[in-house]
Structure 1
Amino acid sequence: MSKVLYISWSGLPETAAGIRVYQIAKVLREAGNEVIFLSLSQPTAGKQDEIEYDGFHYILKGQSKSKIKNVENIFCGCTDFCVIKDTIITEKPDTVIVYNEKERMTKKIVSFCHPLGITVGADVTEWYELSRSKKWNYVVAKNVDYRIRTMDSKLDYIISISPFLTAYYQSHGCKNVIEIPPIMDCVKSEIVPTSHGVRHLVYAGAPAQKDLLLPYLIAIKDINDDRVKVVADIVGVTKEQVRTLLQIDDLEKSGIIAYGRVPHEECVKVIEKADFSILFRENLRYAKAGFSTKLSESLSLGIPVLCNAVGGADEIIIDGFNGIKIEGCDSASIMKAIERILLLDEGSIDAMKQHAIETAKQRFVGELYTSVLDRAVNMKP
């Protein structure tokens, strides 16, 4: 059994990053290890610096009030590294896991820990696209790129979220690479049978700079030009945002229902009613390196995925088996894929739903990774 210090910039499991580290920690705890979280740059820090959540101890540290120190921290992690050192000295962990370190301090953490007999690993879920990053985001993207290319090989183990990252690290001599996609709390055991009539597709998320929503919405509008053949449920995006994107006022006439942001429980209910979920991304490194929780959650709920091929998480989608996969992500290609879905009978869609659940059980259940994670955190430096 090891004592694990899990360092992140995410806090409680209220965001994708927070959920990721929490789920990994639960797997480690199941194997008998103790996990403590050090959450840096937290806005709530100062009010309550240490809290307990689901049996885990969280140490919350806020940002400096000095803008100069915060800028300096982005470039070299000076402030955060001091906090990390103090926490390691106080908590005396056997191993340290750092989630998506962005401040070029991985090498410093390794150099500090190894003489103390402490192993160091990383949980890597992102490799940003430099060409798409602006201002401070470019600095962060550059730091991450530098860390992955020059520092991560010094680590004792790496938890990789995607096949792309796993292949990269293994080809560059990294010692121990463990691939763990997003872990789901629950994988459904039964599908919701497909109803006869209008098909339902769902998008649930916040597009930001990652997901391509406009080509999909154009395809929906065009395919429903004379009558509504397919309903597009959009969760996480408001009606006004969709109207602005499409430059139309009557969304429902085009079969588009925008829910805006809703509690997760309501979001799940909308997804469960769908025949397919959708996920379209550009064929760029950020899409290959990451692993969308939208995809893993959809399959876990028994909903096949309509996506485009980018060589990332989409590799687990087999066209016609647990989803529909297309090469392009333009509106014409998406429209053809939707037309394929409209030709499927209920039995064919139900078969895909069942295959979605089977895929999720083979990949997104925490206990699948208990032994390999336990070995990693308990090995000696």
Structure 2
Amino acid sequence: MIRRSRWVACAGPFLFPWGEAGSRRVYGLVASLAAAGYDVVVAGGGPEPLTTTALPGIDGPGSVSHIGLSEKPPPDAGPLASSIQTLLRWGQRTVRWLDAQPTRPSHVLVHGGQAQYMFHLQRWCRRNRVPLIVDVVDWFNGRHVRGGYLGPLHASMKLALHHYYPRCDGIIAISSYLENHYRRTDKPILRVPPTLDVKNLTVDARQTVDDSSPLRLVYAGNPHGNRKDLLGTVIEAVGHIQREGASVELRVYGPTLDDVRHLFDGRPLPDGVRCLGRLPQAQVAGALQEADFSVLVRRPERAADAGFSTKFCESLASGTPVIANLTSDMGRYLRPNLEGLVCRDHSLAEVTEAFRTAARLSGAQRSLMRQAARSQALESFDYRAYAEPLGSFFRNWD
């Protein structure tokens, strides 16, 4: 175990080795902290043993380790055992682990876990005079969680959002919306978008695209039954421009074929729509690079504006421009006809018009957009760019 006094415990019951969205968000933060000179132990919710994680390309003296604390109930746990763990004991194992360390961490960084988890960590940090910093990435929408708006999970999320997070010593916000919301707390706050190792991501070296090649679109993610990403609208728009004579292919990664058919109300899918199922995270960049554009269409509601799509950042990092309507802070990084194409809203008419524009682009124009997307990602989403800001932020409590 790390014994240096300048080490950060990064805790969260949903943090697992780096495949899932929440873990990918934390990957960027801890890589920045390691580059700033901090030793970080990521205490996740799974059963994984302590491992030292060699993050490629860290430019700094810090380190990153990962340990599983089994906060998350095992898959075979019954409803009663799962409820007791998540509603009553959430965070107790993390606190016991913190108590067992030979040297107290200089900071605790918490990601997720809702009210019960925050209750235990906040008490421990106050008792031990360790600053607690929370990473806030979402404004929870009851439609997207088990039990809906009236369920205990949504109530716990809201309690954390409005009661526990504002009472932390510092706040990292993923978006301007959340930054502005928590600004009224007068606590130190830093906005950090999703970050990743852009510099070391291998990108297709091709510089030209054939004018005669079909328009290749890609969607990768989970549309949550069309409640989050409007994949049904995207498919409808593909059908429209195909009937007008455009040559277009849409590859869908994530939902199953049956899921996609359900989004399309059981109607036959347009020609060229290929449902390829779930893709391992390590293969996502390659799938994105095979497309001319990734597509991200969302309703402009508070949950979309408060969060920030990791998929958007991964697409630009892969050198793949994006077709999207602007939610959250995307307008800071997606300039029309540079890093991609902007839909004025999320309607079928606007998405269809954007696809028409994309289909008319020459190969040279598509290539220039690929270069602009990659350049934007290197400047805005590489974790190295946030080593100094995060290091300075944490030094507020050194």
Quick one: distance in 2 between partners of 1:117 and 1:367?
29
Alignment coverage as a number of residue pairs: 371
Give the conservation status (yes or no) of the 8 Å contact 2:115–2:159: no
Aligned to 1:348: 365
SS in 1 for 2:377: helix
Give the conservation status (yes or no) of the 8 Å contact 2:294–2:322: yes
Q: Please list, as runs of the form range in 1=range in 2, the aligned pairs for 1:1-381 lying within 5 A after superposition.
A: 2-9=6-13, 10-40=15-45, 42=46, 45=47, 49-54=49-54, 56-63=65-72, 67-68=79-80, 70-75=82-87, 78-91=88-101, 92-106=104-118, 108-130=120-142, 133=145, 135=147, 138-170=151-183, 172-187=184-199, 192-197=207-212, 198-208=214-224, 209-225=227-243, 227-246=245-264, 247-249=266-268, 251=269, 254-380=271-397
Give the conservation status (yes or no) of the 8 Å contact 1:235–1:262: yes
SS in 1 for 2:216: strand
SS in 1 for 2:156: helix
Change (3 A) 1:267 1:133: closer
1:104 positional shift: 4.2
Quick one: distance in 2 between partners of 1:37 and 1:167?
28
Give the conservation status (yes or no) of the 8 Å contact 1:163–1:313: no
Change (3 A) 1:266 1:89: closer
Give the conservation status (yes or no) of the 8 Å contact 2:307–2:328: no
What amino acid maps onto 1:31 in structure 2? A
1:28 positional shift: 1.5
Measured on the aligned residues, the alpha-carbon RMSD in Å equals 2.6
Q: Output one character per residue of 1:100-141: Cα deviation in whole Å (capped at 9) or x when no partner.
A: 231345355334313422111011112112355551674323
What amino acid maps onto 1:33 in structure 2? Y
Quick one: distance in 2 between partners of 1:297 and 1:63?
27
Q: Output one character per residue of 1:183-234: Cα deviation in whole Å (capped at 9) or x when no partner.
A: 2223467664222122111111222242110011011112112645221122
- 5+ long unaligned stretches in structure 1: none
Give the conservation status (yes or no) of the 8 Å contact 2:175–2:191: yes
Most deviating of 339-348 and 89-98: 339-348
Quick one: distance in 1 between partners of 2:299 and 2:349?
15
Quick one: distance in 2 between partners of 1:29 and 1:225?
52
Give the conservation status (yes or no) of the 8 Å contact 2:24–2:196: no
SS in 1 for 2:96: helix
Change (3 A) 1:126 1:368: same
Give the conservation status (yes or no) of the 8 Å contact 2:72–2:86: no
Quick one: distance in 1 between partners of 2:72 and 2:145?
23
Change (3 A) 1:314 1:140: farther
Q: Output one character per residue of 1:71-123: Cα deviation in whole Å (capped at 9) or x when no partner.
A: 24544xx4133223212211221111110231345355334313422111011
Quick one: distance in 2 between partners of 1:27 and 1:111?
27
Q: Output one character per residue of 1:42-90: Cα deviation in whole Å (capped at 9) or x when no partner.
A: 3xx3xx5544443514132244657445424544xx4133223212211
Change (3 A) 1:298 1:156: same
Quick one: distance in 2 between partners of 1:265 and 1:323?
24
1:17 positional shift: 1.3
Quick one: distance in 1 between partners of 2:322 and 2:262?
26
Quick one: distance in 2 between partners of 1:241 and 1:66?
27
- 5+ long unaligned stretches in structure 2: 55-63
1:248 positional shift: 4.2
What amino acid maps onto 1:141 in structure 2? H
Change (3 A) 1:362 1:135: same
SS in 1 for 2:17: coil
Give the conservation status (yes or no) of the 8 Å contact 2:198–2:377: no
What amino acid maps onto 2:231 in structure 1? L
Change (3 A) 1:151 1:232: same
Give the conservation status (yes or no) of the 8 Å contact 1:287–1:312: no
The TM-score, its normalising length taken from structure 2, stands at: 0.84
What amino acid maps onto 2:380 in structure 1? R
Q: Output one character per residue of 1:319-340: Cα deviation in whole Å (capped at 9) or x when no partner.
A: 2221111232222221111112
Change (3 A) 1:267 1:30: closer
Change (3 A) 1:270 1:82: closer
1:277 positional shift: 0.9
Most deviating of 8-17 and 66-75: 66-75
What amino acid maps onto 2:211 in structure 1? H
What amino acid maps onto 2:236 in structure 1? I
Most deviating of 158-167 and 360-369: 158-167
Give the conservation status (yes or no) of the 8 Å contact 1:200–1:232: yes
